[in-house]
Each structure stands twice: as C-alpha cells, then as structure tokens.
C-alpha cells in the first residue's frame, strides 16, 4: 500500500484531525494515530501536527501505508470484482484511501488494478456503485471517462452537473492529456515514435477486443475502422526482454494502448488477451502492467488539474525486480508544458 494524500473538503473545515481519521479509518486506534503523528508519518501540508489540530478546507493530509487490519477493502487484498457490494461505510473508507485530490467540483482517484469502473457480466462490485456513498456528496458523482478493469491509475470524477459537463467537453475536445506507463515484453524497433493504426471492435459482450483494422501494404481498411494514434517512448529496458514505455494516447479508442503495443511487437506484460503467451515473462507478476500515471485537465472553475498516481503493487514489484526507477525523469513528451 502506498502513501496517500487527501484534500480536506469544505464540509471538514474546522474538524479535529483525530475525528477526521476516526471517520475515514475507523480501525486505526487513537494510540496508533498519536504515534504516527509523533514520528511525522502523518502530516498536514507537510507539517507535523497534533491530533487536535483543526483542519482547513484545501489542507493536504499525508497518510502512510497502514497495517492490513486498518486498511480499506482493496488494501487488504480483497477481490473487488468477486465480492458483493460493501456497506456504505466500507465503500466510503475505500474511496477515501485512494483519493489523490478532492475539492467541491472534482474528485481524482488512483484506481486499483482489478477493480471495474462500471458493472458488467459477472461483476458484482464496481467503482460506479460505490460513488453514491461518498460522504458529503450533494449531487450524484459522475464518471467522465473510463479505465479498463485491469488498468490502474488516475481517474477523474465530477461531483456536480456543471463539472461533469465541463470535463466531458474537455475530454471530447482533447484538451485533456493522459500519460500512461506500461511494461512490455520485448523491445520496440524504435526508441520513440507514433503508432497511427486505425482500430475496429470485434467480439461480443464480455469478449470484445480491438483489432488493427487496416492493411498498410494493401491500403485497405475495415468499414468500421476508427482512427487511433498513440505516441510512445522507451524510458528504460532490460536487454531486449522487457521495456518500460511511456504512452501518450492522442485518441481514445477501447483498448487502444493494448492493441497498439501488440502492433509494435511488444505486448503489455501480463496482457494475455492481446499478447498470448508472449505477454508473460518468467519471474514477473502475471497481471496487466498498464498504469494511468498522470492526467492534466482544465479545472471547471478555472486553472488546471494536474494529478499523478503511484504505481500499483504488482508494477512496483516488477520495477524493483528489474531495477527501473519510477522517480527518474520520465517526461519524454514534454508533458509538463501542455498546460497552456
């Protein structure tokens, strides 16, 4: 479980810090909270504080990794896709544990791998069903984009109708930029470039997949082909066996990054649906290694949202095993200057 940072909402202004923790982390004993505060593991706006500290809206609370008994459901390793819906309190605690940013209009989460965003065949637990349990949500929270079930990382939620309309328009007009990290099997022939291959959907519900819908040599395209473009760059690699890619999708097709990585001859590690046996490397986790690392979007009230999500545990394990440094300079697309 990674360190998380929580933004204090307007409704919590003036609340004591220990009461804020009691509501969101009910299994965290007060004595343990005091020790975490004394050792500086819990901080408010980067400063050490006492349990009775009064919070202000907009404060950032740093929460360290907690023991399994104190963590929300996902942190304890439960299978969100396989178990029935939890209680409102349980869902609220889980959502609080993955918050990257929150204000009155926008909520940014670090979605865990394996948790569906919406329901589907055989899915009894998904993020969309948890959102109504958000404490203090005046209007129903609204999804404004999606991540695949097996993809982790930054996910934006609108907390008002106006914010939903503004963010949806920003995604549609491509004002939003999303940076992904992937670990792939093999190494691309080029260190960086553009994949410009149209995609089409094949298969029915539950078995849908994206396929390259054009033949570059013959020049033909499937009738249902839709333009799909992805910029890629190799950040690091281990010989020609495994590579770490930065991916910048310029369009937003279903499974675009998974299909385009396969088209490069380097399927995403753990993605058997697109890479078959070639997507697995002995000694490395078998889960899909695709992470929505960063999102930059115009804020509905003005200014910009700029959120970054830490790696999920299985990708962090792979990085550690291979020696990739997630703190290295990894902005090959000059992503940081896109806020104009």
Catalytic residues: 148
Q: Which of 286, 331, 305 is nearest to 159 (CA)?
A: 305
Parallel, antiparallel, or unpaired for β 290-298 and 152-158?
parallel
Cβ atoms within 10 Å, residue 41: 15
Q: What CA–CA distance (Å, rounded) separates 29 from 31?
A: 5
Q: What CA–CA distance (Å, rounded) separates 63 from 291?
A: 22
Cβ atoms within 10 Å, residue 87: 9
Question: Any idea what DSSP says for residue 89?
Answer: H
Q: Give the ranges where 81-233 is alpha helix by DSSP (H).
A: 88-97, 127-130, 161-172
C-alpha dihedral over 173, 162, 115, 153, to 10 degrees? 50
Q: What CA–CA distance (Å, rounded) separates 311 from 48?
A: 26
**Which uninterrupted H or E stretch holds 232?**
strand 229-238
How many CA atoms, within 13 angstroms, populate the side-chain half-sphere of residue 134? 29
Helices (H) and strands (E) in the chain, counts: 8, 17
Parallel, antiparallel, or unpaired for β 60-63 and 4-7?
antiparallel
DSSP-assigned beta bridge partners for residue 244: 183, 236
Under 8 Å between Cβ of 110 and 295: no
> Which tokens in the block code for residue 321?
């095993």
> Which tokens in the block code for residue 257?
């990054």
Location of structure tokens 């349980």: 90
> Which tokens in the block code for residue 148?
């695949």
Under 8 Å between Cβ of 75 and 81: no
């Amino acid at each position: 479980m990674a360190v998380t940072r929580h933004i204090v909402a307007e409704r919590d202004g003036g609340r004591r810090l220990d009461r804020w923790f009691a509501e969101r982390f009910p299994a965290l004993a007060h004595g343990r909270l005091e020790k975490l505060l004394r050792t500086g593991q819990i901080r408010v706006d980067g400063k050490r504080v006492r349990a009775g500290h009064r919070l202000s809206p907009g404060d950032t609370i740093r929460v360290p990794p907690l023991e399994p008994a104190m963590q929300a459901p996902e942190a304890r390793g439960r299978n969100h896709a396989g178990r029935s819906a939890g209680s409102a309190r349980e869902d609220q605690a889980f959502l609080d544990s993955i918050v990257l940013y929150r204000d009155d209009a926008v909520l940014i989460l670090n979605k865990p791998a394996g948790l569906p965003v919406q329901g589907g065949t055989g899915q009894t637990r998904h993020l969309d069903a948890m959102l109504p349990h958000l404490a203090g949500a005046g209007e129903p929270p609204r999804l404004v984009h999606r991540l695949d079930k097996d993809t982790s990382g930054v996910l934006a939620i609108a907390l008002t109708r106006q914010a939903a309309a503004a963010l949806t328009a920003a995604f549609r007009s491509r004002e939003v930029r999303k940076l992904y990290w992937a670990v792939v099997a093999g190494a691309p022939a080029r260190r960086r470039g553009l994949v410009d291959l149209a995609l089409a959907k094949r298969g029915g519900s539950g078995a849908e997949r994206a396929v390259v819908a054009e033949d570059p040599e013959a020049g033909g395209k499937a009738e249902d082909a839709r333009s799909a473009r992805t910029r890629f760059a190799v950040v690091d690699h281990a010989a020609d066996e495994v590579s770490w890619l930065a991916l910048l999708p310029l369009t937003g097709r279903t499974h675009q990054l998974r299909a385009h990585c396969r088209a490069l001859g380097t399927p995403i590690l753990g993605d058997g649906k697109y890479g078959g046996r070639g997507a697995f490397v002995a000694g490395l986790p078998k889960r899909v290694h695709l992470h929505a690392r960063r999102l930059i979007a115009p804020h509905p009230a003005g200014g910009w949202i700029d959120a970054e999500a830490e790696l999920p545990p299985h990708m962090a394990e792979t990085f550690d095993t291979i020696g990739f440094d997630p703190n290295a300079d990894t902005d090959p697309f000059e992503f940081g200057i896109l806020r104009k």
